Amino acid sequence: MKIRRYVGRDTQEAILKVKMDLGSEALILNTRKIKQKGFLKMFSKPLVEILAAVDDYYGINTKKGRNRNEITGGKKNEVKMIGDIAKETNFKGKLIEKEENTDPLENKINDMELMLNKIYKQIQHPPEKSKTSPDKGGSKSLSGILGLFHDNLVKNEVEMDIVEQLIDMANKKKKENAGSADTTSIMYNLISSMLGKSSAIKLREDEKPTIVTFVGPTGVGKTTTLAKIAAHYSLDHKKKVGLITADTYRIAAVEQLKTYAEILGMPLRVVYSEEEIDDAIDEYKDMDIVFIDTAGRSHKNKPQFDELKAFIEKVDADEIFLVLSTTVGMKNCRETVENYSFLKDYKLIFTKLDESSSMGVILNSRYMTNKELSFVTMGQSVPDDIEVANIDKITKNLLGAFVNDRSS
């Protein structure tokens, strides 16, 4: 049996975490209020802690509509059971995960190709230390700091032309006798300026629902990201949210979003063609926000990709999010961005930061598209593991440990 502890700001949030993590057969063993730690929080509202458990064999011998009481011989448990609809999709979620990791060999080959290209570029362009001579004031330490930043950017898989541009701009901006702190400040400001300001969803002010569409290749985590953002606006901002999915091709994709919709208490409409989208949106005219999930489409399959284009054009959303994964090679990321260039305007969402060793793809994509950064995700927990991109945090990560203590 798996036993886990969950903490939330209130009972509803803690229960939601149990539902998302353990599924429909989870049992609530204990609930209690706990004080927040720290002197400044000792007078804050207490948190709610829930101890929950689920059998290891869950998902193998259960049937639709069968609850925990039946499995244990009918003995009534004085606990609150979790939504029935989640039980069918707990196992199907594994199928989704398998499908979202398609073509692993192709990804490995692309990553190897990218690595070889980087090695070739480094051979063609020696490290900054060798090409940056001491300035007239004889400050060798300044060149060393720029060399350190150069190496950190390269390790973070920032494109070489971007690295060289940043180093050249820093050399031009620094004063002749500038010290390490001034050089660090210059590099920090250059990168944060290149990343720009991040933003969330801009809601309409005319009492009509804000239509938000999520697009991107299969496997980047569009559906989970959509659920996290929907939960955020529903629970934290108290907005009325409606869900629409057009992803009717992927195994168990509809069931996955149905599970989220049921747990979050949101209506869900499934559409099978662009002709149905107007009616679906019209049903949600009393909502504050409508989130639309689309199917991942390969640009190599022209009929399917043209179908996606027509659907997006038909929706005419107020906000479009292009969802990208930080775990893919830059070659695949560049191809994705190029093939979604038909979008009139969009914002960038990056997923799986917890699975990636570098954030270079974020800076590369921002530089390449000149589109605003929005949310980033760093795990599978709904509604947690998501935040609006923290420019300060990303910049420090790209520059390395040397600036970790620098205040923004």
User: What pLDDT is attached to residue 202?
Assistant: 94
Q: Which two tokens stand for residue 252?
A: 């168990």
Residues in Cβ contact with 104 at an 8 Å cutoff, skipping those fewer than 6 apart: none
Residue ranges of the chain whose pLDDT lies below 70 = 1, 24, 37-44, 56-143, 177-178, 250-252, 299, 401-408
Q: How many whole angstroms from its chain centre is CA 87?
A: 25
Q: Given this model, what pLDDT does residue 134 score?
A: 39
Predicted confidence at residue 324, as pLDDT, reads 95
Taking the alpha carbons of 277, 348, 262, 205 in that order, is the dihedral positive or negative? negative
Going by DSSP bridges, is the β-strand pair 47-54/27-34 parallel, antiparallel, or unpaired?
antiparallel
Task: List, by residue range, all CATH 3.40.50.300 domains of the chain.
Answer: 210-389
pLDDT for position 302? 81
pTM: 0.67
Residue 122 φ then ψ, to 5° = -70, -35
CATH classification number, 210-389, choose in 3.20.20.70, 3.40.630.30, 3.40.50.300, 1.10.150.20: 3.40.50.300
Q: With beta carbons less than 8 A apart as the criterion, state whether 209 and 284 touch.
A: yes
pLDDT attached to residue 78:
37
pLDDT at 243: 96
3 with 53: CB under 8 angstroms? yes
